[in-house]
Structure 1
Amino acid sequence: MRSFLGKWQDELKKTFTGKADEVPDWVPKLAEGDDPGYHLPGSAVWAVHGSMSPIVAGIRTLLMQSLHPGALAGVHEHSNFREDPLARLAATIRWIFTVTYGSKAAAEEASRRVRRLHEPVQGSFVDNQGTPRGYSANDPELASWIHIAFTDAFLTAHQLWGGRIPGGPDAYVREWAQAGRLMGVPDPPISEADMRARLDRFFRNGDLRVDSRVTETVDFIRNPPLHPMLRPGYRILFAGAVHSLDPNYRRMLGLSVPRLGPFPLPVRLATKVVLVVVRLALGRRGPSELAARERLRRLGFVEAAGRGLVELR
């Protein structure tokens, strides 16, 4: 039994970091830097990104982002996600955790790096009115869609499966708006209501659609090339992501919450159980958070009960 659990734990770590026995080389660098960063212990961003709900949020984000034909064209025409999906996952995790836990300089450099990689991601697609349109991964409108779909997914998943958010949902949207600015979003939403309204605007304006590319992408997200030991848990997490979707988008994607005859299956509870098991396997605090705390201690910051982060003078 221990041997099986050990192998399962190794495959889980390898999926998220690319390595089973050591952390990626960029993680210890989060302990470097001369400023506390954009986000601190006790912030809404640390609460959301330090939980297990982002695992479900990541699946939901991919499903939502696939609905924009410009975003999907960029993925299909400039990405090797089919051949090496875990590399793309690892790159995304690196950016998220660097902006979350790194110094301001590290967050800014990580975002510049992603934007440089996005520079050749350009092309054209035909919109829903039959008009040819150009796309660029760094285009502000497209960056806005990516940011809003991400923020919506991470907030919703945490509301379903995470704990308390310091300052509430508005605090998370407001704090994570900084990540949008770093990625070229000119006016990211700073409240939950604003974020939902902008998301709905994409839907009402007819900017989103489902075609053969979306169907292919959803099939890939539903059945990624994971190790066989991880597939049962992933199926539950995928069902959780589908459960979390707004019914409008769920219908667009042709997805439905699993049912046993007329009765819906307890997807929310099953997802919670899987996330608890993953938390036990990976530990309460990840290596990125530990590296950030090391930097903060070096800079003279300590956590004081009831006072948040305090700088020692």
Structure 2
Amino acid sequence: MMQPPRGMHFDFLHPEGEPALQPPDSMSWRIFKNPVSVFIGGVAAVILELAEPSVRSGVWDHSSFRRDAVMRLRRTGACAMMTVYGPAGAAQAMIERVVRIHEQIRGTTPSGLPYEANDPRLLDWVQATASYGFIEAYSRFVHRLTAQERAQAISEGAVAARLYGAVGAPRSQAEWEALLAKTGPTLESSPIVFEFLDIMHQAPLVPRPLRAVQRLMVRAAIDIVPHNIRLMLGLEQAGLSPVQRRLVKLAGQISDRVPIRTAPPAQASIRVARDPTFLYRPAKARH
């Protein structure tokens, strides 16, 4: 899941020396290297996105989730890897292509509300939920982040968010909480949320012997959705037990120490003259 699908391959080793949108010592580089928390955070973000009616219609009516969930997830993952680890020029070019694609996405919700994918209000919610999902998953299941580290991660995410057109995306924890309070009354339950979760449970994302782990990570994603939204969506019983929570945290902590040398985080590290394993060392040993 850390590797781009066919047609989106990119050599993160080049151009040699070109920086990414964020430096290698950033919170973004630290968080996005972990495949366990990235998967959990990504699923949690989609749950929150699907709770918003206009975003739900845009995602469900104009994406390939139902036809090919694995490819859709790999394409989304490739965009995330490029945004964080890609050379700045290539990352900006990719984001511009995504924005142009989104210009064609528009329609009407089942209740008759018109929507456009590039509506700043919707973009702000999508970017905010992604930031929340990835940060919360890493903090909950890998390494507990301090308030300062959370603030830094949110602030870093706002840089790419503006390039996508989400000019009002939260730049601090307080702004995220304000957006959540503002958007909360518009959120609603939908059978599509349960359809999405069923797809995530059943899609062949990992080898068959590991499907139980896949389902556990989907439950972990539900577990980090804000409690009041879980209740509203009817997911209050779908989270993790204390034992399951410890198992997911163990998986997250192990994956945070195992370099995948062919994956974007290690390749990008080499591009900017860092050891490919430096991100996987304890924080005090990275310098």
Q: TM-score range by the shorter chain?
A: 0.7 to 0.9
Q: What is residue 151 of structure 1 aligned with on the other side?
A: 131
When normalised by structure 1's length, the TM-score is 0.78
Q: What is residue 272 of structure 2 aligned with on the other side?
A: 296
SS in 2 for 1:74: helix
Q: What is residue 59 of structure 1 aligned with on the other side?
A: 43
Q: Give the unaligned 5+ runs of structure 1.
A: 1-14
| Cα distance between partner residues in 1 of 2:79 and 2:220 | 24
1:193 is displaced (CA, Å) by 1.8
2:251 is the counterpart of 1:274: yes
Asked if structure 1 preserves the Cα contact closer than 8 Å seen for 2:2 and 2:263, the reply is: no
Which 4+ stretches in 1 moved above 4 angstroms? 164-167, 257-260, 276-280
Please point out which of 108, 115, 118 is paired with 1:124. Answer: 108
Q: What is residue 3 of structure 2 aligned with on the other side?
A: 17
Q: What is residue 180 of structure 1 aligned with on the other side?
A: 161
1:108 is displaced (CA, Å) by 0.6
Q: What is residue 232 of structure 1 aligned with on the other side?
A: 212
2:9 is the counterpart of 1:26: yes
Asked if structure 1 preserves the Cα contact closer than 8 Å seen for 2:15 and 2:87, the reply is: yes
Residue identity matched to 2:259: G
Residue identity matched to 1:209: E
Task: Give per-residue Cα distances to partners, 1:52-92, cap 9 Å, x unaligned.
Answer: 42121111112111101111111221122112111111111
Please point out which of 202, 216, 228 is paired with 1:248. Answer: 228
SS in 1 for 2:107: strand
2:119 is the counterpart of 1:142: no
Q: Measured at CA, do residues 60 and 179 of structure 1 come closer, stay the same or move farther in structure 2, by a change above 3 Å? A: same
Q: What is residue 215 of structure 1 aligned with on the other side?
A: 194
Equivalenced residues, count: 278
Residue identity matched to 2:131: T
Bigger radius of gyration: 1
1:192 is displaced (CA, Å) by 1.4
Q: What is residue 179 of structure 2 aligned with on the other side?
A: 198
Task: Give per-residue Cα distances to partners, 1:147-182, cap 9 Å, x unaligned.
Answer: 011111111111112236595110000011011111
SS in 2 for 1:297: coil
2:43 is the counterpart of 1:43: no
| Cα distance between partner residues in 1 of 2:89 and 2:4 | 25
SS in 2 for 1:77: helix
When normalised by structure 2's length, the TM-score is 0.84
1:24 is displaced (CA, Å) by 7.9
Asked if structure 2 preserves the Cα contact closer than 8 Å seen for 1:54 and 1:154, the reply is: yes
| Cα distance between partner residues in 1 of 2:216 and 2:91 | 33
Q: Looking at secondary structure, tell me which structure has more strand per residue.
A: 1
1:285 is displaced (CA, Å) by 5.5
Residue identity matched to 2:249: K
| Cα distance between partner residues in 2 of 1:120 and 1:150 | 22
